[in-house]
Amino acid sequence: MWLFVGLGNPGQKYENTRHNIGFMAVDAIVRRHSFSAWSKKFQGEVATGELNGQKVLALKPQTFMNLSGTSVQAAMAFYKIAPENIVVFYDELDLIPGKSRAKKGGGSGGHNGIKSIDQNIGSDYWRVRLGIGHPGRPEMVSSYVLHPFEKNDAAWLEKLLDEVAREAPLIIENKIDLMMTRVAEAMRPLIGPKETKEETKEQGHGI
């Protein structure tokens, strides 16, 4: 069994904010692959489905970002899911909008949702980082990530979420690197191939 976690903050106030792109990614996977309706469990919202014949639990913690790990730990413990079968989708300041990266383990990069998960279950799980760009100055980060996406973000955002959802079954085949390659190729016409300074330094969320 697999656990797909999207990070974000609950409530209409935060619904379309940059910090909630993790929620949006899991929503897209649930829609595309006809998972069950959302229900409340593990201090979060859950939906169940299958990818490539394996059961997947989608989870959106409703604890607010800084306590995400309590919800993840509860679901992990109940279903006895191994860390390597947990995939967390979340916003990344240090990638330009539309870029994405995946890795297993590592640090939190200053992301408080990831910090909370690390504290509760350790760090040996998969992270899918979805680029939202950086506002340019550290003091602007808080308002930036909690601000809704702009209208001109729609093209790359919708495409990124569609591609992540389309390629998600590759995760179950332990081909997450291939998944990310395909997503990157699909996004290239919209965002270009080159990395920027934001992708080579750790700014940190602090949120």
Residue 16: inside a domain: yes
Residue 199's pLDDT is 46
Asked whether residue 59 is assigned to any structural domain, the reply reads yes
Say if 95 falls within a structural domain. Answer: yes
Q: Is-contact 163 152, C-beta < 8 A? A: no
What confidence tier does 193 reach under pLDDT thresholds 50, 70, 90?
A: low
Please, which pLDDT band fits residue 195 given cuts at 50, 70 and 90?
low
How many domains, in total, are found in the chain? Answer: 1
Does any domain span residue 47? yes
What single DSSP character describes residue 128? E
Residue of 197 and 127 predicted with greater confidence: 127
The CATH number of whichever domain residue 20 belongs to comes to 3.40.50.1470
Q: What is the pLDDT of residue 192?
A: 77
Is 33 in the active site? no
70 within domain boundaries: yes
Token output for 19: 């910090």
Any domain includes 204: no
Residue 3 β-bridge partners = 57, 86
State pTM to two decimals.
0.93
Tell me, yes or no, whether 112 lies in a domain. yes
- For residues 46 and 27, the answer to whether their CB atoms sit within 8 Å is no
State the residue range of the domain holding 147.
2-199
| 206 lies in some domain | no
Classify residue 194 by burial, with Cβ atoms within 10 Å: 0-12, 13-18, 19+.
Answer: exposed
The stretch 149-163 carries a mean pLDDT of: 97
Q: Which of 19, 111, 134, 205 is catalytic?
A: 19
Neighbours of 78 (CB within 10 A): 11
